[in-house]
C-alpha cells in the first residue's frame, strides 16, 4: 500500500481536496475512513465532497445523529460520525453494516478500531496539525482505492504533495 502526504495550508485547500476527491469518486462504490483529532478538517473535507456532488442544502455534522444519508443524482451517500460510539454492540444496533452495504459512497469519521470488523476501507485519510498547517495522509486499502487515488493524484495539480511509502 502506498501513502501520499499533502500539505494543506488553509481551510480552502482542505475543501479543495474534498472537491477533487469527490470528482474522482463520483459514480463509484467507495468506503472512505477519515481519522484525525477534533478540528483537523474531517467535516470540512466531507462537506466539500458532498457539495461537489451537487448537494445544495445545508450539510450538518452527524456528531449527534451518527448517520446522515443523502440521495444525490441517484447516488446514496452516507456521512457517518462514530465519535460517540463506544463499542461494537452499538454499531450492530445501528445496523451500520447494512447501511454501508446499501450505500454507493460512505464517508466515516472517527472509524476507531472497533469498526474494522465490519468492512475494510478503500481509502484511509488521516488529517493532522503539523506546525501552522494541516496535513492529509491518504492511503489506499483496496484495488478500487488504488485506482481512485492514482486518478486523484495524476489528474490534479497538488502543490504540496509527497509520496512517503
Sequence-distant (6+) residues with CB within 8 A of 7 are 130, 133, 134, 135, 159, 160, 161
- The C-alpha cell 446499501 sits at 102
Higher pLDDT, 142 or 117: 142
User: In the chain, where are the structural domains located?
Assistant: 3-131+142-163
Our measurement of the distance from residue 159's CA atom to the centroid of its chain's CA atoms, rounded to an integer in Å, reads 21
Among 97, 149, 98, 100, which Cα is nearest to 123's? 149
Stronger pLDDT, 1 or 124, i.e. the higher one: 124
Q: With 70 as the cut, is the pLDDT of residue 81 above it?
A: yes
The predicted structure's pLDDT at residue 93: 86
CATH class for the region spanning 3-131+142-163: alpha beta
Amino acid at each position: 500500500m502506498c501513502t501520499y502526504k499533502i500539505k494543506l495550508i488553509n481551510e480552502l485547500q482542505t475543501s479543495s481536496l474534498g472537491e477533487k476527491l469527490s470528482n474522482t469518486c463520483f459514480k463509484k462504490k467507495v468506503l472512505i475512513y477519515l481519522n484525525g483529532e477534533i478540528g483537523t478538517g474531517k467535516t470540512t473535507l466531507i462537506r466539500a465532497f458532498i457539495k461537489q456532488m451537487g448537494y445544495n442544502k445545508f450539510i450538518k455534522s452527524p456528531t449527534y445523529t451518527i448517520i446522515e444519508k443523502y440521495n444525490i443524482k441517484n447516488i446514496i451517500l452516507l456521512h457517518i460520525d462514530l465519535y460517540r460510539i463506544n463499542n461494537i454492540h452499538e454499531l450492530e444496533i445501528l445496523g451500520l453494516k447494512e447501511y454501508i452495504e446499501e450505500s454507493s459512497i460512505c464517508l466515516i469519521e472517527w472509524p476507531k478500531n472497533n469498526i474494522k470488523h465490519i468492512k475494510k476501507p478503500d481509502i484511509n485519510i488521516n488529517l493532522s496539525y503539523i506546525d501552522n498547517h494541516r496535513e492529509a495522509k491518504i492511503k489506499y486499502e483496496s484495488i478500487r482505492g488504488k485506482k481512485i487515488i492514482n486518478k486523484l493524484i495524476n489528474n490534479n495539480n497538488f502543490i504540496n504533495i509527497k509520496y512517503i511509502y
